[in-house]
Structure 1
């Protein structure tokens, strides 16, 4: 019997992840369909993404502007692309112009980037862009995102002053090893409660993007609606050369 290809391994891994997502969702009193799995394909070739796409997956994420701009035109238009993490404000125009099927930016950590994204969407005349506000739940200076105490202010800015952006929820990156403690997740839950109470929103209308390869099951159990899975699906990341956002 021939050894499985790398591509075959990724599809097998995806199925395993979806099974684990279903089990975690059930433990949280929800269904698998209520949890989005964003397959984060950073450093991975288009051919590998295509294999996962052909297995039926549609939500993919990238962390670098140049990489998503290069990959998106080579892949089917019905992919729902997510840009994940810190976005330099001067790259907003490049990102929006290069990825017409960009579905969401995770996340907006300050008013400056919100304003740049809003302007870029307006200039392109595309439909409003869904955004998640990024919250620095771990308190690390190296992490992007707003301090939890400033979360409501950013959300109000997006909703009131950025007509071309659609506030969709909150996200957090996690700890240095890309795992989070329940306290990190609880902080994001508390931010959502504060935001929803202040704005009169139902909490189920405010997404929570928290959880990655090392902690997504715990995140789902605590209420996450979207998890970002990279290495568990695609294998270790390959850095042939230094990447720049």
Structure 2
């Protein structure tokens, strides 16, 4: 897992570099915005960890760079961060080759079966797919990983804990069977845990997070897996501190680090 204290030191050191020219000063100022935002997030994560009496090494911060250009992602990378996430296959396939290979990419969006091969072939340093929500996509990923000769791919099962039709994810009552399928029938995949997205208005996230934690207990019992080895990916920009206090091991933070998403204007 990510060492938050070490990461904060790297970010501080990056911010304190002295610019050597006006142009360098302008560039450093731009870098400083991203680095300062990352540092603030890491500090808030550390505080949430301390409130919960947890170990900071148990928490991974995934910087979600959806709609952001490679230059902005590079600023956060240069500040010492290595975990990044994307929602769309086209974006991650375009961005990953332009950035250092030691980045650990997470795919966190809905994944269609016909996009599994482009994703895995285009992003050799894809560390995890967090959004497996049925047997079909699990089977496709399993076959593609095997055909490409990649090492086992880490996956999380996405659970729709809010019951919203707009959200992807398996129903909580079906997560055990899907976890069993991945664990027993997909030899090229490594089941690592569960993921959820809280309510959009964040008014019911405690219930959503409790539901995911309950799902983990059921899955671990069924698989004979220690709960501490089963990740919980929950918490985003508006609720990551609460998620950490409720047991999250993986928080996905976009706008708080990168600023508002930038969608193309419609003609």
The correspondence for 2:77, drawn from 47, 53, 61, is 53
Question: Does residue 216 of structure 1 match 2:240?
Answer: yes
Could you report, residue by residue, the CA deviation over 1:99-130 in whole angstroms, capped at 9, with x for unpaired residues? Answer: 00000001100000001100110110000000
Which residue does the alignment assign to 1:142? 166
Which residue does the alignment assign to 2:193? 169
Tell me by how many angstroms 1:170 deviates.
Answer: 0.2
The correspondence for 1:13, drawn from 25, 37, 43, is 37
What CA distance in whole angstroms lies between the structure 2 residues aligned with 1:212 and 1:170?
Answer: 15
What CA distance in whole angstroms lies between the structure 1 residues aligned with 2:45 and 2:126?
Answer: 24
Structure-2 change in CA distance of 1:179 and 1:20 (3 Å): farther
What CA distance in whole angstroms lies between the structure 2 residues aligned with 1:67 and 1:35?
Answer: 26
Tell me by how many angstroms 1:241 deviates.
Answer: 5.6
Which residue does the alignment assign to 2:109? 85
Tell me by how many angstroms 1:85 deviates.
Answer: 2.2
> Greater Rg, structure 1 or structure 2?
2
**Does structure 2 conserve the Cα–Cα contact (< 8 Å) formed by 1:111 and 1:157?**
yes
Which stretch shifts more, 194-203 or 125-134?
A: 194-203
TM-score relative to the length of structure 1:
0.95
Tell me by how many angstroms 1:10 deviates.
Answer: 1.3
The correspondence for 1:70, drawn from 84, 91, 94, is 94
Which residue does the alignment assign to 1:127? 151
Equivalent residue of 1:169, what SS?
Answer: strand
Structure-2 change in CA distance of 1:201 and 1:169 (3 Å): same
Higher helix share: 2
What CA distance in whole angstroms lies between the structure 2 residues aligned with 1:129 and 1:95?
Answer: 12
Structure 1 residues without counterparts, runs of 5 or longer? none
Question: Does residue 101 of structure 1 match 2:125?
Answer: yes
**Does structure 2 conserve the Cα–Cα contact (< 8 Å) formed by 1:178 and 1:212?**
no
Structure-2 change in CA distance of 1:217 and 1:48 (3 Å): same
Which residue does the alignment assign to 1:189? 213
Equivalent residue of 1:139, what SS?
Answer: coil
Q: How many residues are treated as equivalent by the alignment?
A: 242
Question: Does residue 204 of structure 1 match 2:232?
Answer: no
Equivalent residue of 1:174, what SS?
Answer: coil
Structure-2 change in CA distance of 1:189 and 1:69 (3 Å): same
When the two chains are superposed, the root-mean-square deviation of aligned CA atoms in Å is 1.6
Structure 2 residues without counterparts, runs of 5 or longer? 1-21
Kindly report structure 1 stretches of 4+ aligned residues shifted beyond 6 Å.
1-4
Could you report, residue by residue, the CA deviation over 1:42-89 in whole angstroms, capped at 9, with x for unpaired residues? Answer: 000111111111111000000000000000000000000000021111
